[in-house]
Amino acid sequence: MLRVQRWALAPLRLTWNFSVGLAAGRWEPGEALGAGPGGELLSLGSLLTTLADVHAHEIFVDGCFNGDPHPGNVMLLPDGRLGLIDYGQVKKIDHATRMSYAKLIVALDEENQEEVCRIMWGELGCRAKYMKPEVCYRIAAFWSDRDTRDITGGRNIAEFMEWAEEQDPVVIVNQDIVMACRVNVMMRGMANAFQLRLRMAPVWRPHAEAYLAAHGEAGYSAKRPEGVAPGPKAAAAEKGKYS
């Protein structure tokens, strides 16, 4: 059995106190810490994955979710379970929006720029001034998948949003997906607090595909055509279809 001394526990307590709400009480020197009766050390990766899975279930299956899962609303309980509190900003999204957002998650995981643009412009009704496929793809990826260098160009959040606005100002946003995107970013932000990079599309994809399959879209595929490069280098979408 692993036992954690106070000096070894301090960094974990400090991290959870300032980035994820801590409701585990106090530990004494030599006291066991963990999720199991044996005091096993907690796996931050598993906790974050569980948190992401729960919110994916709320979004895709329930269609009703907490749009404000910031660190202060996530509690680490004494037995290692997570407690979610303060559902003061609950958002409901309809079936059609969930179907489109599920397809978007799959397309982002496949890094299929053309399909991402088709969903954003065609199904979700988003519009930008110039309708640039690469900018559309990067914005969708940033809000619903990842903030890696291939998406942000190494810019921080503020710089990236400023760059996107300069390149192709957004004119119409589908308000029903705004809070889902916010949850997506918050999940990644929580992971970043622990120096973990979390890409959300692969984590949410099983939930998205299960929802699609349960509603007659089991055959949906967002695979790129053979020979087409992934992401921003993919073939341009035919923006005339959505003008």
Could you read off the pLDDT of 47-84 as tens digits, one per residue? 888 999 999 999 999 999 999 998 889 888 877 788 89
Quick one: average pLDDT of 10-36? 42
pLDDT digits (tens, 9 = 90+) for 111-120: 999 999 999 9
Identify which has the larger pLDDT, 231 or 50: 50
Cα–Cα dist 102/209, whole Å: 7
Residue 233's pLDDT band (cuts 50, 70, 90)? low
Q: Which residues contact 140 (CB under 8 A, 6 or more apart)?
A: 104, 108, 116, 120
Query: What is the three-class DSSP state of 155?
Result: coil
Quick one: average pLDDT of 182-210? 93
Domain ranges of the chain: 6-47+68-91, 93-242
Q: Which residues contact 180 (CB under 8 A, 6 or more apart)?
A: 59, 65, 67, 91, 93, 101, 144
Residue type, 90: V
Counting Cβ atoms within 10 Å, is residue 49 exposed (0-12), middle (13-18) or buried (19+)?
middle
pLDDT at 92: 97
Q: Which two tokens stand for residue 169?
A: 């100002």
pLDDT digits (tens, 9 = 90+) for 102-160: 999 999 999 999 999 999 999 999 999 999 999 999 999 999 999 999 999 999 999 99
pLDDT at 193: 85
pLDDT at 47: 86
> Does residue 26 have a pLDDT over 60?
no
Cα–Cα dist 157/155, whole Å: 7
Residue 39's pLDDT band (cuts 50, 70, 90)? low
Cα–Cα dist 38/33, whole Å: 8
| Number of neighbours of residue 107 by Cβ within 10 angstroms | 31
Quick one: average pLDDT of 209-214? 97
- Kindly report the pTM of this predicted structure: 0.81
Lowest-confidence region among 14-18, 84-88, 91-95, 156-160: 14-18
For the chain, give the percent of residues with pLDDT over 90: 60
